A and B are shown apart, each in its own frame.
Chain A
Amino acid sequence: MPDKTETTNVAKKAAGLGISLDAWAVALALGFALLVWLGWIKRVPW
């Protein structure tokens, strides 16, 4: 079913690197925002 164990494991592994899963998600989103702002990502199709 819901892979709570897997989710928890991923969270633990992320935390093992020093930051939480949440913080990784924020870092990735801000990284994307920076690349878009710098013009390195010019067009994201949908």
Chain B
Amino acid sequence: MNSNSHAILCRGVEKHYGEGETRIDALRGVDFGARFGELSFLVGPSGCGKTTLLCVIAGLLDRNAGDLEVLGRTPDELSDRERVLFRRKNLGFVFQQYNLLPALTAAENVAVPLLAAEVPRKEALARATSLLSRLGLEKRVEALPSKLSGGQQQRVALARALVHEPRIIVCDEPTAALDHATGEAVMELLASNAVQPDRAVVVVTHDSRVFHHAQSISRMDDGKIVEVTRSGGSPRMENVEESDSFRKEVIQ
């Protein structure tokens, strides 16, 4: 692994919660890398540490040990303000429960990262509307989240993660609340819109039905990466579903 090709590099990252008898080791020496231009999946059973790793990478949690590099920097060594600004500029988030602001329209929700970066409101809304149109929501830009289906809400969330053109996008179970067809459509949009040569996309998921979108799959168990599978240069990991035993292990 090297820092030129990788947006994210973790070596021996450890993270624990609590102390003494109540201590829980969430990450036990994780080695993980996410390359530019790739869709990297983090998979594994519940409680294995996927979301904790995602939060450490995003600078939302501090690691206890190990090395971490995100775009050549170490987020948890930045000051609080620098970390927030780093996150605002370089990261886009897609959450399992969308986390859209219910009082804002789809376009306004998408514009939030731009507004946070002091982009004038008019320009921010114009860019948000344009992106929503690209994602097939041109007729829903003025709709409130409560008037959107789950799939539409996740597309709005995806647009919000993309609108400020971050170099890393982290997605936490983006299809967990969606039916298969809708989840597939969302992943299709993610793969076609988010993956770019200068951007890395990390997806935490349980949903084995969408594994074929990944260029690499890192399987976690008990706070460690136990297996990494790569697509071998092909743009998609087309054969994951049928071919290997990996999927069987993951979905157990």
Question: Do A and B bind?
Answer: no
Instruction: Report which B residues bind A (CB closer than 8 A).
Output: none
